[in-house]
Amino acid sequence: MAITQQDVLKALSYVEEPDLGKDLVTLNMIENIHINGKQVAFTVILTTPACPLKDLIRNACINAIKLMVDKEAEVTVNMTSRVTSARGNNEAILGGIKNIIAVASGKGGVGKSTVTSNLAVALANSGAKVGLIDADISGPSIPVMFGVEEERPHVFRTPEGKNLIQPIEKFGIKLMSIGFLAPAESAVVWRGPMASSALKQFITETDWGELDYLLIDLPPGTSDIHLTLVQTVPVTGAIIVTTPQKVALADAQKGLQMFRQPQINVPVLGIIENMAYFTPAELPQNKYYIFGTGGAQKLAERWQVPVLGHIPLVQSIRESGDEGQPEVMKTDSPAAAVFEEVAQAVAQQVSVRNAGLEKTKIVPIITQ
């Protein structure tokens, strides 16, 4: 009996996407089915370029065809990706951006900007289109971490007569920071409304184009900047960066609670524990938990969110940031592999969030 497209789709309807908990056919992840005798080829559209379950899904598809259609079938599974989004195509602001991710911390000094920089590069290396806004107006560090301190964005006029800022590009990532607009040695001493206005300009008056992910590196704590963000654009989800010790976790909990407040209601994608353990370069297999252990896990269990990863405290991460070459770019670095795993976890959680939750709404501005 000849193999039909319906036979293939029926078999693949029994293959489940592990993260989303639904079958590939229901999720519209199967395209371009071609049948030539016993040769069967089709394309699986993954929800993220960073999908770590690619081989698992491919093998499950091959087994389903052989088991339910023809055991002698020659199956070719082509894998590609299309990042999901909970945003509409007609969004007035940042309409070309699929996912807006806030990266926050309860306190300073936990390495949030280092984590954000490496996360952005890791996502871009996986094939995603990525942008990054440095929203820490008073302490911008993204220009240093990307080695673009001396770069200055230019302004151009669109055919519609609107002036837009052209973001700086480095390592395939579009960047915007107050550090590009003020001398590095100058202190930016602004009241809340001025800082909020700058963030709004970075969001609404920058030519971001089409992106899969726009990461927002927020200042520490909870402030006007955080409120401005959620009142300007619908945020897909938030990531909380912390270190293991008790004082950092107490502040991280406050940052997490802010996004969980009913009037804000931004999904928390997970927690990243930075400086989780110290590993000396000469003893790469050794781990010394100088800040304690289990802190992020306890916080995650309390608030029922996942731990996205544990980043080690190693000298090369600091050196890479100072040199403007994020650690994840080093092919021989164990820490780079950890950042790649964290990026995969983030991409997974974005896909799960977009499949299972309603889209985030802009927080209304209430005036008395």
Which amino acids are annotated as binding site for ATP, given as ranges? 106-113
Look at residue 368 and give its three-state secondary structure. coil
Helix 54-68 and helix 5-12, axial crossing angle in degrees, nearest 10:
130
Q: How far apart are CA 101 and CA 266, in angstroms?
A: 10
Q: How far apart are CA 128 and CA 351, in angstroms?
A: 13
Instruction: Write out the binding residues.
Output: 106-113
Amino acid occupying residue 122: A
Helix 246-260 and helix 295-303, axial crossing angle in degrees, nearest 10:
20
Angle at 315 between CA 145 and CA 312, to 5 degrees: 90
Cβ pair 178, 137 in contact under 8 A:
yes
Closest CA to 53 of 23, 19, 27, 26: 19
Q: How far apart are CA 342 and CA 200, in angstroms?
A: 29
